[in-house]
Chain A
Amino acid sequence: MGGNSPCASCKLLRRRCARDCIFAPYFPSDDPQKFAIVHKVFGSSNVSKMLQELPVQQRADAVSSLVYEANARVTDPVYGCVGAISYLQSQVSELQMQLAVAQAEILCIQMQNVPVVLPANSEMHDLPNYLNFTSSGNVIHRDHSQKRENIFGHDLVS
């Protein structure tokens, strides 16, 4: 607020802090670094214009995002926020790939657990005993497929 204590922006710009100073609510005098970094990247007149074009209730969020972007740009003068976006996108892609692999693995496990229904004439000698069902295996097979839909309420394979 104006009056006795100028806001951080008016202190930095060395001017009188008016009562209706547009910066005062968002750049308190106890945090000079916040305005300094925004001023360095965007410039005070650009920030002032941006804030004036916004409804009052959105200005706090706008200042927060400007401070975030300014910090990113000072930290990384070449890539700024775009560097962070690129990094996050690659992390998301990597995790999605891992998720796809895990989902495929679980599908394999489930398929291995599903009893195999074989025609009556097929050779069953080489099969493990627990896969060597008789025709009554049909009932079990149907139950397995129904249960798969019930357990996983959503489609695992995207």
Chain B
Amino acid sequence: MISGRCAACKSQRRKCPSDCIFSPYFPPNDPQRFACVHRIYGCSNVGKMLQQMPVQMRAQAVDTLYMEARWRIEDPVYGCVKLISQLHQNLNDTESELAKVKALIAFHKLQISQVNELHQPDLDASQSNVEQFQFNYSTQNHYPWFIN
């Protein structure tokens, strides 16, 4: 049936058999999808890949092949690898930031426990000592050297 050809068979100008491996994933109303995949991977490579995997995984595989093909067409040098690189960088940056903030929390908690110890032994002592300590703490740069 000529009118029922999938996008792959239309592109390859051949008959589309009833068991065409491409037809479930490359409908005729979306020729761009097959064109992208074919341009990057080639029709026979895609066919081989699909044959080597279970039927239930093929739809997902075609989706990811299409995504990667589009990335490669948009960026012929780096493709989707650029995004992976950026994500790795984001991950490193966020890890560093988290480590800094956690260190700051630990530092604050230490300061609080020291203040509490200072306050604890003598509840009747003039509170101006504690105030003065906190005043000094707040106005001077007592933060750890590694906090920028």
- Measured between beta carbons, the chain A residues less than 8 angstroms from B84 are 68, 81, 84-85, 88
The B contact surface, by secondary structure, is helix
A41 at the interface (CB under 8 A from B): yes
Interface size class of A (residues with CB under 8 A): 35 or more
- Measured between beta carbons, the chain A residues less than 8 angstroms from B52 are 77
A119 at the interface (CB under 8 A from B): no
Interface size class of B (residues with CB under 8 A): 35 or more
**Bound Cα distance from A68 to B77, whole angstroms:** 12
Residues in chain A within 8 A of chain B (CB atoms): 40-43, 45-46, 50, 53-54, 58, 61-62, 64-66, 68-69, 73, 77-85, 88-89, 91-92, 95-96, 98-99, 102-103, 105-106, 109-110, 112-113, 115, 129-130, 132-133, 137, 140, 143-144, 147, 151, 153, 156
The A contact surface, by secondary structure, is helix
**Bound Cα distance from A16 to B18, whole angstroms:** 41
**CB-based contact A78/B80 at 8 Å:** no
**Bound Cα distance from A54 to B72, whole angstroms:** 13
Residues in chain B within 8 A of chain A (CB atoms): 39-42, 44-45, 49, 52-53, 57, 60-61, 64-65, 67-68, 72, 76-84, 87-88, 90-91, 94-95, 97-98, 101-102, 104-105, 108-109, 111-112, 115, 119, 123, 127, 130-131, 134-135, 138-139, 141, 143, 148
